[in-house]
Chain A
Amino acid sequence: MATATRPPARLTRPTARPPRRGARGRTSLGRFWHQYTRMRTAIYFLMGILGIVLIGTFVPQQFSSADQKVTEFVAAHQNLNDLFTHLGLPLTSVFVSPLFYVLLASLYIALLSCVITRGRALVGRTLRGYPRSPQYWGEWGSWLFHTSFFLLVVAVVFGKATGFDGIMTITEGQRVAETPASYDTLQEGMLFDGRHSGYVVHLNSFRAPLQSNGMPSDFVSNMTLYDSGRPVVTKDVRVNEFLGYNGVDFYQQDYGWAPHLLVRNPAGEVVSDTDIQMISDNKTASTGVLKVPDYNYTLPGQSKPTQIGAKLVLYPDAQALPQVSGTGNALNVSYAPGTAAANNPVLEVQLFVGNLGLDNGSSQDVFSLDTGAMTPYYASAAAFALPLHQTTTLQLPAANNGTAGFTISFVDLPQFSLFHVKKDNGVPLVYTTFILTMVGLLTKLYLRPFLERRRRRRRTVLQAGGRGGSQVLESPPTTVREEVLTR
């Protein structure tokens, strides 16, 4: 931007450019426009973009880096971040910052201006019967290259604005409709018509076979897609094989454990029977939260029913550590992670009793437990171990100083699969601009030298034949390999 406000003294300098709309009454807006759309200015815009992009590589970015890193960075560089945010460049989201967009838009305006000017000149020359020299083709190549870059942005904007982009979690055996309510996060384009497909996807099974080194060799979701109740596609979806149907695409993104827990209250009623999504980096130990808001049991002396919650740690291949207390009390056993294979699944359950804080109307993160209004089930906040297919019976206070037993069962250990779901009708257009860009670039860089070489060879032949005079005169100079790409 700084260059745009520079006094246009340079313009008065004689330049090689023919004074087409020249000195005759160029308005100050016209001069600004001229400066603004000059290629030199465009290069400064490019350098500005480069700078921002560099910041974006080294500073953790929202949506692409881990949330925790972003928070840490903001906490550590509060003042710096505030300063840059005021300047229109919030450091943790530079790729969606106003400054970045202004620079990009400026660059593309300059590009559009250049493409139009050059395109008109080329068409004019073609109509006037300008000779089809190598240079002529080179200029068309350059024009195509720059035009396709402009079209690329049009294609990207079109695709993003008319489509949507979301994350969806499906547990094995579960069916989910492609509709806003089903997404964990969803972004819709400004021009998206709001009509989601309503296709129902069923996760038939999920598998992540492990190699000898403990890493998965593959992870595969077997899915069936239903359109209006009819199964239309069944496919193994993996990282490089997505499921696409009528423009809606499902991409395998991540997966994890989803232990199936069943909780009965002291009356023996099932109050929770659900799969709990666990999160982890390496699948050898993952964490999650159980919330039972409708426990339907009131502790003695209280007016409202109590709620229970638990912090869970899952070891699919639990390795028992030497017992801390040595008493053989199962409640004091602790585990270490083994492999990611479900050889010995054990849940460590840290139970809390009280108020989950859900009933005041707040929306809660499913991965965190607000224990502010809860008390640990055991005074020491210790965890107990719950192996797969087992049920633990615990006691709560009951009337007349009695106790009431309730149970938590680890019923099953299915897995969940995380999908990136999107609609982007701009993709074919983007690919088309890729092809056009390559054609333009190769024409510019190679067709011209190729034609020149051929022409030179022919001229040599003609000269050898002794009648090449006029041919030589018609040929453009061949010593200069490069010419003006734009303007």
Chain B
Amino acid sequence: MLKHPCRVAALGAAALATALLVSGCSLQPDVSARLQPNPRISQPAPALTGTSLSGSHIDLAALRGRPVVLDFWASWCGPCRAEQDELNGLVSKYAAHGVQFLGVDIRDDSANALAYVKQFQVNYPSLFDPASDAAGTFNVNAPPTTLVVDGSGTIRLRELGSLSDVPSTLNSLLGSS
């Protein structure tokens, strides 16, 4: 076979094409069907500044020194609503240990978001991000996405649609400091 380089090349192309086409069947799979990658874990958190739902100024950098739980949410998002009570539970457990909680309300209207905050008795501030600008810089594809940022400003955890690993991450951060 090696006497025929063209044949080898063609076989290579055949293998590649078959692998590409038959396995995936589509060159552009739907993003929502894809597993969430962890592209920014253990990377420094990008800058995050803006205005909160209640109108005050928010700057993630000002919270440096303490672990921060960053939750991207929206009032129309069913999974966000389902996990809000659990998130509130984490707040009451960890806020006393110096953990900061910060919401980022994406693709939303402020009145609807404020009604959500009132209904779920959310007691941490949320940055208002109707254009999903901050979601973009944090590579967040969809709410609810929860990040844990350590005191040095490094992203230590990223979870989509779940909070299950947040307590252990916070425990290890609090234990090590």
Contacts and interface: CB of A to CB of B under 8 A. Distances in A.
Q: Do chains A and B touch in the complex (CB under 8 A)?
A: yes
Interface of A: 21, 29, 33, 37, 96-98, 101-102, 104-105, 108-109, 112-113, 116-117, 120, 157, 160-161, 163-165, 174-183, 185-190, 194, 196, 198, 200, 262, 269-274, 291-296, 305, 358-364, 366
A160 B30 contact: no
- Of all A-B residue pairs in the complex, the 3 with the closest CB atoms, nearest first, are A179-B136, A361-B82, A273-B111
Nearest to B3: A21
A37 B25 CA distance: 23
Interface in B93-145: 106-107, 109-112, 115-116, 118-120, 130-133, 135-137, 139-143
Contact of B28 (A113, A160, A198): A160
A183 B31 CA distance: 10
B175 interface: no
B112 A294 contact: yes
A67 B143 CA distance: 26
Interface of B: 1, 4, 6-7, 9-10, 13-14, 17-18, 20-22, 24-32, 34, 37, 39, 72, 75-79, 81-83, 106-107, 109-112, 115-116, 118-120, 130-133, 135-137, 139-143
B162 to A, nearest CB: 11
Most chain B CB within 10 A, of A112, A294, A363, is at A294
Contact of B140 (A104, A174, A181, A366): A181
B65 to A, nearest CB: 28
B39 A271 contact: no
B112 A179 contact: no
B109 A273 contact: yes
Contacts of B34: 188
B21 A105 contact: yes
28 contacts: A21-B4, A96-B25, A102-B22, A104-B21, A105-B22, A109-B13, A109-B17, A112-B13, A116-B9, A117-B6, A163-B28, A177-B136, A180-B31, A181-B106, A181-B140, A182-B135, A187-B26, A187-B28, A271-B111, A273-B110, A292-B115, A293-B75, A295-B115, A358-B76, A359-B78, A360-B78, A361-B81, A364-B78
B119 A305 contact: yes
A198 B133 contact: yes
A188 B4 CA distance: 37
Nearest to A198: B136
B72 to A, nearest CB: 8
A293 B81 contact: yes
B79 A116 contact: no
A181 B107 contact: yes
Given A117-B6, A272-B115, A296-B115, 14 more contacts: A37-B10, A112-B9, A163-B28, A176-B132, A177-B132, A179-B135, A181-B143, A182-B131, A198-B133, A293-B119, A359-B81, A361-B78, A361-B82, A362-B78
Contact of B24 (A109, A176, A179, A190): A190
B6 A113 contact: yes
Contacts of A196: 136
Nearest to B113: A294
Nearest to A265: B115
A161 B27 contact: yes
A269 B115 contact: yes
B138 to A, nearest CB: 9
Contacts of B26: 96, 187
Contacts of A359: 78, 81-82
Contact of A270 (B111, B136, B141): B111
A190 B29 contact: yes
B133 A200 contact: yes
Nearest to A356: B78
A304 B32 CA distance: 32
A224 to B, nearest CB: 13
Given A179-B132, A187-B31, A294 B119 contact: yes
A113 B14 CA distance: 10
A177 B133 CA distance: 5
Contacts of A198: 133, 136-137
B174 to A, nearest CB: 29
B167 to A, nearest CB: 19
Contact of B75 (A37, A187, A294): A294
Most chain A CB within 10 A, of B4, B28, B79, is at B28
A361 B17 contact: no
